Amino acid sequence: MQNLETHLSKEILDSIRAALREDIGAGDVTTDSIVPLEARMKGKIIAKQDGVLAGLDVARAAYHLLDAEVKVESQVEEGAYVEEGQILAIVSGRARSLLTAERTALNFLGRMSGIATLTRQFVDAVSGTRAVILDTRKTAPGLRAVDKLAVRRGGGENHRIGLYDMILIKDNHIDFAGGLTEAVRRARASDNGLQIEVEARTLADVKTALDLGVERILLDNMSTTMMSEAVKMAAGRAKLEASGNVALETVRLIAETGVDFISIGALTHSAKVFDVSFDYVKE
């Protein structure tokens, strides 16, 4: 197999295989009826807008998982800013393979570049502050690894990958346990060694979390005035994360409160798909 992207995780490769199965099914009846079996072709993937590129390696893997002999020559580095009309990659090989894998490859490339583009806008908006832009678990089902890779390539960082790698005590956990103190006690009693973060809805919750020695506090839908007060209260004793309806218009004001992290679900659930196309090149 020619240079299959071994750096891509099993989760991403499994997502690509599932996408190919979903699209191809019993076969590409249009391509197979029009294009001779051994016909060859070349095409170019083109950006149809300005933005940040992410996912050419994932698109390449989509071609390679269908046909290992397809050649994909990247023209741009991952995470680079590209302009409308710019050639992103040259693709060549069996014509049937190029046409059959085209939509799957472009779907991944467009989704990932859209997420990376939006992420970069948020990262640029908080430049010069201490705030780190984080994603959330609000990802497309089955595409979490893909979506979170796109966030990293846009300059953001990942929060939890799933429910298994960090304890995040949210409002329903707190209410069920009968209070923040009891929820934290139960979490610590599990003795799994994972970092604990708690959701704070009020400044009183922040004080309680600090008194409990919690490592990280999520400031849920607080005003910037409340966030600034929480930063003063924490005085470096815990990392503070702002969350809830963060927009490009407000993220700078949030960052200037001094919080350590800003988590934004919109990075993955509301990013507009980046417009890319695949055009046949006559030779």
- Catalogue the active-site residues: 103, 138, 170, 199, 220
Distance between CA atoms of residues 113 and 55, nearest Å? 7
b/e burial code for range 185-224 (CB count within 10 A of at least 16 → b): eebeeeeeeeebbbbbbeeebbebbbebebebbbbbebee
What is the token pair recorded at 277? 């196309």
Residue 144 token pair: 């979490």
Quickly list DSSP for the chain.
Answer: -----TTS-HHHHHHHHHHHHHHHTT--HHHHHHS-TT-EEEEEEEESS-EE---HHHHHHHHHHH-TT-EEEE-S-TT-EE-TT-EEEEEEEEHHHHHHHHHHHHHHHHHHHHHHHHHHHHHHHTTTSS-EEE--S---TT-HHHHHHHHHHTT-B---SSTTSSEEE-HHHHHHHTSHHHHHHHHHHT-----EEEEESSHHHHHHHHHTT-SEEEEES--HHHHHHHHHHHTTSSEEEEESS--TTTHHHHHTTT-SEEE-THHHHSPPPP-EEEEEE--
